[in-house]
Amino acid sequence: MKIKFNWGTGIVIAMVLFMTFILTFVYKSLTPQYTHDLVSEDYYKDELLYQKEIDKLNNALKLETKISLSNSDKGITIKFPENLEYQKVKGNISFQRYNNSILDFNKDIELNSNVLIIPDSILVSGKWIVKIDWNYKGQEYLFKDGWFY
């Protein structure tokens, strides 16, 4: 039997090849080697608390001196405002990575001065989402920034 090759046969072959191409990419994207991490596991629950977060961010903007971050040989240096009594600052610092949630970590704020150093040993080079949620004399503050280390 001889197959006659005309424009109809060409279209069918092109469609089959295109569908094979697309299905190959779908299959490869669903394999375990690619991770699909969200920034937060409880995304919808976090969304409900967003107004509190906005209020904390506004409180932080009203401060005379803002929190500042800088890279050093020892790690990331977080400098709190000098006009605050550092002993009364309590809170939590969260470091998140967009591309790998395994590297995410939290650290409680324990200050011996107005400077806190996040050690190099627990940091990996790249972009971090830094979120500092802190309390000073009953007032809540929030600092959020993307930081390259």
State which CATH number among 1.10.10.10, 2.60.40.10, 2.40.50.140, 3.40.50.300 fits the domain covering 43-148: 2.60.40.10
Q: What are phi and psi of 78, to 5 degrees?
A: -110, 120
**Hey, where are the domains in the chain?**
43-148
Contact 71, 54 (CB under 8 A): no
Give buried/exposed letters for 40-49 (b at 16+ CB in 10 A, else e).
eeeeeeeeee
- Digit-coded pLDDT (tens) for 4-58: 788 888 899 999 999 999 999 888 887 766 665 656 677 777 777 888 889 999 9
Output the pLDDT for position 19. Answer: 97
State in Å, rounded, how far the first CA of the chain is from the last one. 67
pTM of the model: 0.66
- Digit-coded pLDDT (tens) for 58-71: 999 998 889 999 99
Section 115-127 average pLDDT = 89
Contact 74, 120 (CB under 8 A): yes
- Digit-coded pLDDT (tens) for 76-95: 999 998 888 888 899 999 99
Output the pLDDT for position 36. Answer: 58
Residue where the block lists tokens 């020892």: 74
**CA 3/CA 9 separation, integer angstroms:** 9
Q: What are phi and psi of 140, to 5 degrees?
A: -100, 140
Task: Provide the pairing of β-strand 89-96 with 115-119.
Answer: unpaired
SS3 125: coil
Q: Specify burial of residue 28 (Cβ count, 10 A radius: 0-12, 13-18, 19+).
A: exposed
Other beta carbons within 10 angstroms of residue 71's beta carbon come to 13
Output the pLDDT for position 1. Answer: 63
